[in-house]
Structure 1
Amino acid sequence: MRIVLLGAPGSGKGTQSKLIMERYKVPQISTGDLLRAAVSAGTPLGQQAKAAMDAGELVTDDVVLGMIRERLAMPDTQRGYILDGFPRNLNQAGSLDDMLSDLGQPLDAAVLIHVDFESLMQRLTGRLTCASCGAVFNSYTHPPRQEGVCDLCGGELKHRSDDNEETIGSRLKVYQAQTEPLVQYYGDKSLLHTVKGEGEIEDIFKEVSKVLESVGGPKA
């Protein structure tokens, strides 16, 4: 079960990814995590990435793909994997396909967790985080029993300064500009499966599981 997981900020993609990992025993491969680990370990690719970041440059796709290739050689990917955070554009998608073809590990599916723009804005602008225990609430969809107070520990709930409509709207527009071509790309390859990311988490996961099992993933 080799999949790319797509979803906007606030879509619940991270939650679904964790559930897939737990149920199907496959690793999530996050390019952000790979970069941090490689830089920390001082690997050859990590040194290249650090040099680029220290110079204020973007890490090249070749370096990121090299890290993914190394990660896919590890034994825990034999049952499959979830790619998260890559590809972000068409060039990366094409390069990824070429590399996976060389490895004999082509993708089985690209799964899009879709949530409409208005709902994403509510989820992100209404987010409240407990300063004490880190619990997350939402003033629209999951409000605390007492305004400003955490249900779990009684700590103060805070609204992140960057969780405002202007900033979030810009983030979502960037995501849409990057992702819409990928949706078309994977759709043209008959790899795209769209799951509606609204409703109860368990119900969404049932739909995700149906997709994964339909493309030959291991049974739960």
Structure 2
Amino acid sequence: MKLILLGPPGAGKGTQAKMLMDRFGIPQISTGDILRAAVKEGTPMGVKAKSHMDAGGLVPDEVVVGIVRERLQKSDCVKGFILDGFPRTLPQADALNESLVELGKDLDAVVSLEVDVEALVERLTGRRTCRDCGRGYHIKFDPPAVEGKCDVCAGVLFQRDDDQEETIRRRLDVYNDQTSPLVAYYRDADVLVVIDGMQEMKVVQDQILKSLQAD
């Protein structure tokens, strides 16, 4: 099962990807996780990526495309994969198509999660992360037992720079300008599945699975 998950920041792509990964036994390939790891390590690629992420922009294609192509060639992608957060632009989609053709892989479906903008802002501004162990929380939907402290290690929780409201709204503007055209792109390719991401998490998952089984 070879899938792409589309949707603006906070639409629930990561959550749905993890469920699909368990269901089909295929890896979730999250460019966001890869890039954040590079930022944390302070690599040259990470430093370059951080400047764009902090500004609410997209990381340049030359940084992202090569990472994804290498990842798709690993042994755990033989049965399939779930791309979460890539492609983000039409040029990236074209580059991905070229790579898939060269690797002999075809997409089974592109799932687009649609969510209200103000709901996205609430989801993202409420996220908190443990400074010590990295566990994630949400002040409304998944709060810690003690405010400001991690349930696992009692570390201090903080809000990432890219979860600030001003940055989030810039990210959503970037998504609408550059990434939302991918919906039409993959609709024309007859692989698009549109799901209402405002529903309960389990309902969203069930609808995704039904659409994949129908295909």
**Pairwise same-fold verdict (TM > 0.5):** yes
Amino acid corresponding to residue 185 of structure 2 in structure 1: Y
Amino acid corresponding to residue 174 of structure 1 in structure 2: V
Amino acid corresponding to residue 15 of structure 1 in structure 2: T
1:178 paired residue number = 178
Asked if residue 115 in structure 1 is aligned to residue 115 in structure 2, the reply is: yes
2:208 paired residue number = 208
Structure number, greater radius of gyration: 1
CA shift digits 1:66-117 (9 cap, x unpaired): 4433333333212211112321111111121122123221212111122111
Whether contact under 8 Å (1:90, 1:182) holds in the other structure is yes
Whether contact under 8 Å (1:130, 1:157) holds in the other structure is yes
Identity rate, percent: 44
Whether contact under 8 Å (1:28, 1:82) holds in the other structure is yes
Amino acid corresponding to residue 31 of structure 2 in structure 1: T
2:100 paired residue number = 100
Distance of aligned partners of 1:203 and 1:32 in 2 relative to their CA distance in 1, 3 Å threshold: closer
Amino acid corresponding to residue 159 of structure 2 in structure 1: R
- Distance in 1, matches of 2:100 and 2:64, equals 14
- Distance in 2, matches of 1:34 and 1:168, equals 20
Asked if residue 22 in structure 1 is aligned to residue 59 in structure 2, the reply is: no
Provide TM-score, normalisation by structure 2: 0.74
SS at the partner of 1:69?
A: helix
1:137 paired residue number = 138
CA shift digits 1:11-33 (9 cap, x unpaired): 11111111111111011123355
Q: CA RMSD in A?
A: 3.8
Amino acid corresponding to residue 26 of structure 1 in structure 2: I
1:41 paired residue number = none
SS at the partner of 2:107?
A: coil
Distance of aligned partners of 1:145 and 1:207 in 2 relative to their CA distance in 1, 3 Å threshold: same
Q: Where do 5+ consecutive residues of structure 2 fail to align?
A: 53-58
Distance of aligned partners of 1:151 and 1:188 in 2 relative to their CA distance in 1, 3 Å threshold: same
